[in-house]
Structure 1
């Protein structure tokens, strides 16, 4: 089971490249010269344009927008559909904008920068609506939770590669590929992290053993800027170079040293890593975390998500609320601060301890337990023990919380707030809840990952009759 105490698993490859292919290259099949232009009908869930060729076959076109007429080259052929990229844009959608990043189309990170922000957000709401409709669930209004469209990402992992000529490269992976794309800028990174890109690149050029650097993680908190280096094998002269870099850039340096079971070493005192939550009517909360703990990349949107959950639940003294996949206490602590009695469950024992520590630091009481939340027997026992709960908060990893939603048919909790990073597994689990007698009361889509097809979705369910 993928635990919330670690980074959520990457989205499985869909088989869609998402990148412009190279005509004449391997796996590329260019359309004939006399082929008719395609008209883009809509966007697929992953943000690519959908069209139909003259023979009726579906064609997914990277970076194409609804209403546009395009000449394309096919770079991947499947039995039921083709994948293509634009050769020539014949008409342009009013929703098309100039991508703010010079690496757009090569870096796999932000694949919707050619679509204006309002249209991006509308597309994400449409995706949620469509996935629920496929499960037979009709949604009403869907609200939006949104933040800044630039400089929002406070955490990133940069790949490092040394080529056959000895050149050192720093950047992100191309979409659905291990190929590293050099980056000079990243507009979605918070400014303090973006300013480290050039100095990091310059430092890598000076290392004696750059092949021993696996990757570099960047993390920004209100009190610290952290650079974590994945060092496969110790190299003393390069270690001194990293220390000098940290001093010159005024960042905290950590090194994950070793290949199989790396250990973390700090250059000096470990930094204070905290997630800060400030919610109306509550004193500020400080949630401590460690490298490797799950932390939402967008602090502004995360705070709004927490506020939305609090608004929906309106927790009061005397109420009992379950928080499943509770992580570092992102929802547990604000709910407890409102006076409710919170019991948190996690698959990762380290996170159970983290929640207890964070509760104590904020002078709150949150009980907790460790258990496999994908195991139906464990889930049934948990719900049976807490059968008097007034509400349940469910924030699973990408695989969803199917065992929990199935168990709620037999151990119903009056209200359920489900926070999901994958709308497909959310819709699947929502069908279980609806069949168990729940109804959808509220839906919000949080634009946690601007310029990408990814999103967070929040749904409030209530049992019929409540």
Structure 2
């Protein structure tokens, strides 16, 4: 039986050699992994062991005796408390290199791809203030209203007035709502007692249009001084185009409830990705980093190699973002998505842009694609952009049956991507190259686009 080389509360010196998928430093003692937040590869430090399991342990970094050349001071004052960013202490150059290595390692370990081309990560010129959507929980502390982000792995709200990765307009709007709510005595929600009024404030900003939406998520329909709150928000920011209330009466971690009502202004705001205009409602799924979304979609379009003669299927199409990009160069695009509201948005977005060579269907991709196949639809290219769990195996079986010339795989999880690529390789396809894209700087997440060809 393997001897566990560490004990809880013991202090040891650890050499760090890697990062986990969620950004923790990985050190080893006699081959036994020790995970430590905010430690970096190439560093050595004194660590207090906080938890010991059978196959690994967790520790807290006490001091560094050797620092990484890529270590920087995190500019955010609450970086160590907040769970939003994991990598602000790693220089941006270091982050891009780490994400490329992460993808390369996962491809080899899970997929068995030792010689697959993984390109350097496509990053941002300015990797700050990129998020166009804020979801800020509200609460009470010593009788006063607070708003911020949750501490790491907890439901404790850290009161704050700005976030280094949020667009300044979102920060400004959240603070305005916070001050107005305080002015009118609106109580923050307490998830322990299920009391209070204001649960979350969600803001959305159109980078290209400069339009703002604010969504007040409340426990019940009642919002004290509603009329005055609406007037004050309008008076403070002239580019607010939509004020919405969402009601969520449940004891739940889910932000939105079922009922949404426009209190003032429009039901949607607008933004562009490239030349495509999108209508964004309170609950629309829309990529939070529009600048890098354009980079991601341009790469997907490049890999699709469209000449204008191709039939394309976009599985997991959402509100039609990739579908409408592809439709500019394809003969016809078929999009499928399980969320009915997303398909409704996709149809509206197609109409908004005068794009007619698209059809959208509601349903599970693994069921709709075989039905399309039975109708005689033969795609030249299939694009998949699945959730973190990756593609359903029955969808992969259908792709194999349809035999498209190319598959373009857009992924937010390198591990499930590697698993799915392995399946496709075993069934007559060849993964040609992987392009990591940094959609979420200063976090541990990385997106990838993969070109896959029928052999």
Alignment TM class, shorter chain as reference: 0.7 to 0.9
Q: CA deviation at 1:233?
A: 2.1
1:196 alignment partner, SS class: helix
SS in 1 for 2:319: coil
Question: Are residue 371 (structure 1) and residue 363 (structure 2) matched?
Answer: yes
2-side partners of 1:155 and 1:428: how far apart? Answer: 31
| TM-score of the two chains, using structure 2 as the length reference | 0.88
**Which of the residues 348, 373, 384 maps onto 1:394?**
384
Question: Which segment drifts farther, 432-441 or 269-278?
Answer: 269-278
Could you tell me how far 1:103 is from its partner in structure 2?
0.9
Instruction: Report the 3-state secondary structure (helix = DSSP H, G, I; strand = E; otherwise coil) of the residue aligned with 1:144.
Output: coil
Equivalences, count: 425
Q: Which runs of 5+ in 2 are unaligned?
A: 1-6, 188-195, 251-256
Deviations 1:90-125 (A, max 9, x none): 221110001011110110001100001111111111
Which segment is superposed worse, 386-395 or 238-247? 238-247
Instruction: Spell out the pairing of 1:107-122 with structure 2 (5 A cutoff).
Output: 107-122=82-97
Tell me, in whole angstroms, the C-alpha distance in 2 between the residues paired with 1:356 and 1:233.
32
1:150 aligns with 2:112: no
Distance in 2 between residues matched to 1:131 and 1:359, nearest whole Å: 37
- The answer for the alignment partner of 2:443 in structure 1 is 452
Change (3 A) 1:290 1:200: closer
* One of 338, 342, 345 as aligned partner of 1:347: 338
Change in CA separation of 1:162 and 1:310 when aligned onto 2, cut-off 3 Å = same
Contact residue 285 and residue 342 of structure 2 kept, 8 A: no
**Aligned partners of 1:315, 1:363: CA distance in 2, in Å?**
20
8 Å Cα contact 2:197-2:220 kept in structure 1: yes
Tell me, yes or no, if structure 1 residue 48 matches structure 2 residue 24. yes
Contact 1:229 1:254 in 2 (8 A): yes
Q: How does 1:36-435 map to 2 (within 5 A)?
A: 37-53=13-29, 56-134=31-109, 135-138=111-114, 139-147=116-124, 148-163=126-141, 165-210=142-187, 211-221=196-206, 222-250=209-237, 251=240, 252-259=242-249, 262-278=258-274, 284-365=275-356, 366-373=358-365, 375=366, 377-385=367-375, 388-402=378-392, 403-435=394-426
Contact in 2 for aligned 1:289/1:328 (Cα 8 Å): no
Asked if structure 2 preserves the Cα contact closer than 8 Å seen for 1:256 and 1:263, the reply is yes
For the residues of structure 1 that align with 2:52 and 2:375, how far apart are their CA atoms?
Answer: 53
CA offset at residue 384 of structure 1? 4.6
Contact 1:209 1:235 in 2 (8 A): no
**Alignment partner of 2:400: what SS?**
coil
Instruction: Give the CA deviation at 1:290.
Output: 1.9
Asked if 2 retains the 8 angstrom alpha-carbon contact of 1:223 and 1:273, the reply is no
Secondary structure of the 2:225 match is helix
Residue number among 419, 427, 430 corresponding to 1:436 in the alignment:
427
Other structure's SS at 2:321 match: coil
Distance (whole Å) between structure 2 residues aligned to residue 434 and residue 348 of structure 1: 30
The two structures, once aligned, show a CA RMSD in angstroms of 2.0
Q: Residue 312 of structure 1: CA displacement?
A: 1.7
Q: Which runs of 4+ in 1 moved over 4 A?
A: none
Farther off after superposition, 382-391 or 134-143: 382-391
CA distances 1:215-269 after superposition (whole Å, capped 9, x unpaired): 1101101241111110112445332342133123222321113525542222322
